[in-house]
């Protein structure tokens, strides 16, 4: 499970340092963000299904995008099932050990991702995707399959009824939310790359349909609440009324926007403006990724004796604002590189603390009935925020690229759309102008991220609780429950245990309302391990 989590996280960062190389090889820089977006949207689309339950010989960019999307379907399973399973199998009293193992896994994946991407793309970027692919010539993909067969459990502990669980999936809700997300990202991305005009029928149609799908999704979730059927909603409406949880969701969405935007655009800036190799771009990203891993590990420690999750979330948001504010000074091609390593560290620490604290906060606030879906939503909004962030960054870049149309020929502009290094590698006189445009666009991207982070800070304040329940008391209450106090919740699924007589927080002890009068808490045992990206 830790290995699956490792590869799932690596999948995002390993591509960040290789995008410029891939774009140059495939001669299509304009559409290269789709390599990331396709993975993330398919990851998002299959997230709920996973929670409940390429050979690149063709030189065309559409093939790489399509195969990357298929990889995202598997990636969502690796991440979702690993996180859920680790939470379920962790014995009481061993949370620190589980947390340490997950922290080490995250730290390893954060460091390996950009370094592997840089090293591999220096020879043949296809090996980035071969790592989990099995062919007659390459046996690396068979390692995972062999391990799966050998370690497949023989005793599941209780009877499993896959078809009964299968029909509890909210297929209608999933269709609506996938259509809404994909069409919105698609319309904005295509308009941002000037493929569609903002007033074109294609853009207006896809964007309006995405809005309609969002409306239909929420309408269906409301209707599903009143239907006498055993279907698990994608987003239970009752969660919307929970202030602390919804504030954490918004904070996670905005942090996901800033995090992925920086992970993708900063290595591009290093390679295009500073002339770094893919490997050095990965090395220069390590301060942020290392700090993110550190924040993910230590966030749980801050709440070991006292529940400081909301306070940690507010402080983390401050770190993000400060880090991005400092990164706005990285504003021209001649700006010194060394100071921004410190800026990255501040921002990365804030991101790591945010991701981990938001996940821990969800474990506390969600009832046993809603725990799994609440965690799934938290992971989904991070991915959706990252996708929106990439789309906005691409839009900003293309707006700046238009400024070169009066200075460069049509052929040169088309060459830049094919490869960002087209005019730089040839030593053209326009090289400095191209670098200035990339540098200015990056600064504007960071300014947008800065204001997004400010909004994230405001959202984090919404999670504030004066005297929340201590985490050790929650875990101790779980550990002292006798087997006879456990009960199955067969018709609705979710956690199979409930805890009684847990101490209430000063805000009235209101956790996620299940829609009925609460005579006892449905809060599940908190696994105080750090969350994960």
- 178, two tokens: 């996938």
Among 207-211, 493-497, 520-524, name the one with the lowest average pLDDT. 493-497
The pLDDT assigned to 483 comes to: 44
Task: Reduce the DSSP state of residue 2 to 3 states and report it.
Answer: helix
Q: Tell me the pLDDT tens digit for each residue of 431-441.
A: 777 788 888 88
114 neighbors 267 (Cβ within 8 angstroms): yes
Asked whether residue 216 carries a pLDDT value surpassing 90, the answer given is: yes
The pLDDT assigned to 459 comes to: 94
Q: Tell me the pLDDT tens digit for each residue of 49-93.
A: 444 443 333 334 444 434 334 443 444 445 555 555 565 565 554
Q: Tell me the pLDDT tens digit for each residue of 453-468.
A: 999 999 999 988 877 7
Q: Tell me the pLDDT tens digit for each residue of 244-288.
A: 899 999 999 999 899 989 988 898 888 888 888 888 888 888 888
- 154, two tokens: 């023989």
292 neighbors 110 (Cβ within 8 angstroms): yes
- 85, two tokens: 């399973």
DSSP state letter for 501: S
Averaged pLDDT for residues 85-112: 60
* Stretch (H or E) spanning 41: helix 33-45
pLDDT band at 521; cut points 50, 70, 90: very low
Q: Tell me the pLDDT tens digit for each residue of 166-184.
A: 677 788 888 898 899 889 9
The pLDDT assigned to 343 comes to: 93
Among 167-176, 222-231, 356-365, 480-489, name the one with the lowest average pLDDT. 480-489
The pLDDT assigned to 69 comes to: 40
**CA–centroid distance for 95 within its chain:** 24
The pLDDT assigned to 455 comes to: 95
- 506, two tokens: 């000063």
Asked whether residue 96 carries a pLDDT value surpassing 60, the answer given is: no
Among 81-90, 327-336, 350-359, 470-479, name the one with the lowest average pLDDT. 81-90
Averaged pLDDT for residues 485-498: 36
Query: What angle in degrees, to the nearest 10, is found between the helix axes of 201-226 and 171-192?
Result: 160
The pLDDT assigned to 98 comes to: 58
114 neighbors 16 (Cβ within 8 angstroms): yes
Averaged pLDDT for residues 356-362: 82
Q: Tell me the pLDDT tens digit for each residue of 137-146.
A: 444 455 555 5
Nearest to 401 by CA among 508, 217, 272: 272
Asked whether residue 313 carries a pLDDT value surpassing 60, the answer given is: yes
The pLDDT assigned to 466 comes to: 77
d(CA 421, CA 417) in angstroms, rounded, equals: 10
58 compared with 194, residue with greater pLDDT: 194
> Rounded mean pLDDT of the chain?
72
CB within 8 Å of 464: residues ≥ 6 apart = 310, 311, 314
Candidate CATH numbers 1.20.1090.10, 3.40.50.2300, 1.10.287.130, 1.20.1250.20; the one for domain 2-152+162-169+232-461: 1.20.1250.20
Q: Is the dihedral of CA 378, 456, 221, 527 positive or negative?
A: positive
User: In percent, how much of the chain has pLDDT > 90?
Assistant: 15
Asked whether residue 19 carries a pLDDT value surpassing 60, the answer given is: yes
- 357, two tokens: 């604290």
Among 135-139, 293-297, 449-453, name the one with the lowest average pLDDT. 135-139
128 neighbors 14 (Cβ within 8 angstroms): yes
Q: Is the dihedral of CA 164, 165, 170, 175 positive or negative?
A: negative
The pLDDT assigned to 3 comes to: 66
The pLDDT assigned to 72 comes to: 38
The pLDDT assigned to 490 comes to: 36
pLDDT band at 229; cut points 50, 70, 90: confident
Please return the burial class of 531, using the count of CB atoms within 10 Å of its CB with bins 0-12, 13-18 and 19+: buried
- 269, two tokens: 């800036």
263 neighbors 9 (Cβ within 8 angstroms): no
**CA–centroid distance for 507 within its chain:** 31
52 neighbors 132 (Cβ within 8 angstroms): no
Averaged pLDDT for residues 361-384: 78
381 neighbors 40 (Cβ within 8 angstroms): no
User: In percent, how much of the chain has pLDDT > 70?
Assistant: 65
Nearest to 96 by CA among 48, 350, 14, 104: 104
287 neighbors 345 (Cβ within 8 angstroms): yes
The pLDDT assigned to 4 comes to: 65
293 neighbors 138 (Cβ within 8 angstroms): no
Q: Where are the domains of the chain?
A: 2-152+162-169+232-461, 170-231
User: Between the ranges 31-35, 301-305, 448-452, 507-511, where is the mean pLDDT highest?
Assistant: 448-452
Q: Tell me the pLDDT tens digit for each residue of 374-421.
A: 877 887 888 889 889 988 998 898 888 877 777 777 777 777 777 777
* Region for residue 501 given its phi and psi (left: phi exceeds 0; alpha: psi -120 to 50; beta: otherwise): left
The pLDDT assigned to 518 comes to: 38
């Amino acid at each position: 499970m830790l290995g699956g989590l490792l590869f799932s996280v690596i999948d995002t960062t390993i591509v960040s340092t290789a995008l410029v190389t891939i774009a140059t090889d495939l001669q299509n820089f304009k559409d290269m963000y789709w390599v990331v977006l396709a993975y993330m949207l398919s990851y998002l689309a299959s997230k709920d299904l996973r929670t409940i339950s390429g050979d690149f010989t063709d030189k065309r960019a559409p093939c790489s995008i399509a195969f990357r999307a298929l990889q995202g379907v598997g990636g969502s399973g690796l991440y979702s099932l690993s996180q859920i399973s680790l939470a379920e199998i962790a014995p009481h009293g061993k949370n620190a050990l589980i947390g340490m193992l997950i922290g080490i896994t995250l730290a390893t994946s954060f460091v390996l991702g950009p370094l592997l991407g840089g090293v591999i793309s220096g020879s043949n970027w296809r090996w980035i995707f071969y790592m989990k692919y099995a062919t007659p010539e390459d046996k690396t993909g068979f390692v995972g399959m062999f391990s799966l067969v050998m370690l497949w459990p023989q005793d599941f502990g209780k009877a499993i009824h896959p078809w009964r669980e299968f029909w509890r999936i909210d297929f209608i809700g999933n269709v609506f939310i996938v259509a809404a997300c994909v069409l919105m990202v698609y319309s904005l991305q295509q308009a941002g790359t000037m493929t569609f005009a903002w007033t074109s029928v294609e853009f207006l149609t896809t964007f309006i349909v995405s809005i309609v799908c969002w409306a239909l999704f929420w309408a269906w979730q409301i209707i599903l609440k009143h239907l006498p059927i055993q279907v698990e909603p994608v987003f239970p409406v009752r969660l919307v009324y929970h202030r602390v949880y919804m504030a954490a969701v918004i904070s996670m969405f905005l942090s996901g926007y800033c995090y992925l935007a920086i992970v993708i655009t900063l290595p591009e800036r290093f390679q295009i403006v500073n002339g770094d190799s893919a490997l050095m771009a990965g090395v220069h990203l390590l301060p942020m990724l290392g700090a993110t891993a550190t924040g993910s590990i230590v966030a749980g420690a801050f709440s070991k004796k006292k529940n400081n999750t909301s306070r940690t979330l507010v402080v983390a948001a401050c770190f993000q604002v400060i880090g991005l504010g400092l990164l706005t000074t990285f504003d021209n091609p001649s700006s010194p590189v060394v100071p921004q390593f410190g800026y990255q560290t501040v921002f990365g620490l804030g991101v790591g603390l945010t991701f981990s604290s938001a996940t821990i906060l969800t474990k506390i606030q969600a009832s046993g009935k809603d725990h799994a879906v609440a965690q799934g939503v938290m992971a989904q909004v991070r991915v959706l925020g990252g996708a929106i962030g990439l789309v906005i960054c691409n839009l900003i870049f293309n707006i700046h690229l238009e400024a070169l149309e009066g200075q460069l020929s049509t052929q040169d502009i088309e060459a830049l759309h094919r490869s960002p290094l087209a005019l730089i590698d040839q030593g053209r006189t326009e090289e400095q102008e191209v670098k200035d445009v990339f540098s200015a666009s990056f600064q504007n991207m960071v300014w947008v991220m800065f204001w997004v982070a400010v909004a994230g800070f405001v959202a984090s304040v919404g999670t504030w609780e004066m005297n929340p329940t201590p985490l050790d008391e929650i875990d101790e209450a779980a550990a002292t429950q006798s087997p006879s106090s456990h009960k199955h919740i067969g018709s609705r699924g979710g956690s199979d245990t409930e805890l009684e007589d847990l101490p209430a927080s000063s805000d009235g002890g209101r956790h996620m309302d299940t829609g009925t009068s609460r005579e006892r808490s449905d809060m599940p045992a908190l696994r105080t391990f750090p969350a994960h990206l």
